[in-house]
Amino acid sequence: MLYLDAAATTPVRREALEAAWPYLTGTFGNPSSHHTAGEAAAAGLADARARVATALGVRRSDVIFTSGGTEGANLAIKGLALAAADAGRARHVVTSSIEHEAVLDSVDFLVRRHGFEVSFADPGSDGVVTPRALAAVLRPDTALVSLAYANNEVGAVADVPALAEVAHSCGALLHTDAVQAAGHLPLRDPGADALTISGHKLGAPKGIGAAMIRGRLPLEPLVHGGGQESGRRSGTENVAFAVALATALELAEAEREETAVRLAALRDRFIGRVLACWDGAFLTGPAEPARRHPAHASFCFPGRSGESILLDLEGRGVLASSGSACAAGSDEPSHVLTAIGIDQEVAQTAVRVTLGAGTTAADVEAAASAFESVLRG
């Protein structure tokens, strides 16, 4: 099978497994225990934290290990917003209508249960939220802005430093969901006050992620208990997977520039061949290559069923998706596609192809040929 759904998950890198193995076997202690076994585990956890911090260009104390991108987004958004409210700031947050469900549901929780107000920045028809669009909805009392670095469904890449500058101009904090960006786009010095990543998108196991909360900003913890992670996320830390995350992130960062250039060229070749297969087919998200995720290509095929295309592709040995894996099984059209102005019926014809670090030119040629067979057959 040819796997072209890297935005959903990636295979675990052997190096990450090998790095984690000692902490699943001999060095199995609880890092909070004050004996030799616990101290060895604590040393491994501290080293993993330092390596993640270096990859992100922040201090070790800024890194909180989480169970993944969803928990990270919940912690950053709820934790920062609730702490700001406790400090007497008004309860206003800003996001966009095309964010991941983890972001949208966290904001909705603040609105429903804590009396926050929310404003939505216009993503535009290409899925890009511009600094001007953000500025249009900011208020003097805005506490927090949460906007993705790279959209998971249409591949739109945001100018995070510019968005941060606009948010900071009114005193607001900026959180960016960098789950799709990690391993493909620069993570160091993006200007965000909080940034969240997920290990399984870049070669670490599922069930580990990290939240970067800059400069010890006030943060209301969501999980209470033993006070691990400097009191910001209680629960015995998953040392083995934290080590795996650090290893996978380091490798991805070391390879990122070369891989991004290679995958972007393959992506553009693939897009050209697919668009030529079906009259009326169109690319969703930015048409300009520089504003699109280097490994991302998503399409709509008016007049065809997206699910039918995917089934036919799988029959030819190609695995792709219709969009976010978190919304798989829903009969509703993508909230991202409808939010950028695509008709609901057309949105249900969507197919998303996302390349991985191991995707080759031969893989892309085979996938393009499979699309041609399906769409012209």
Nearest to 59 by CA among 68, 47, 50: 50
Q: How far is CA 27 from CA 13, 39, 41, 273, in A?
A: 21, 9, 6, 51
Nearest to 350 by CA among 359, 342, 362, 339: 342
Which residue is catalytic, options 170, 277, 300, 326? 326
Contact 186, 57 (CB under 8 A): no
Please give the structure tokens belonging to residue 103.
């972001």
251-270 b/e (C-beta count within 10 Å ≥ 16 → b): bbbeebeebbebbbebbeeb
- For residue 317, give both structure tokens: 């040995």
Neighbours of 312 (CB within 10 A): 18
Helical H runs in 170-282?
239-275
Rounded to whole angstroms, how far apart are CA atoms 118 and 137? 10
The reply to whether 170 belongs to the active site is no
Positions marked catalytic? 326
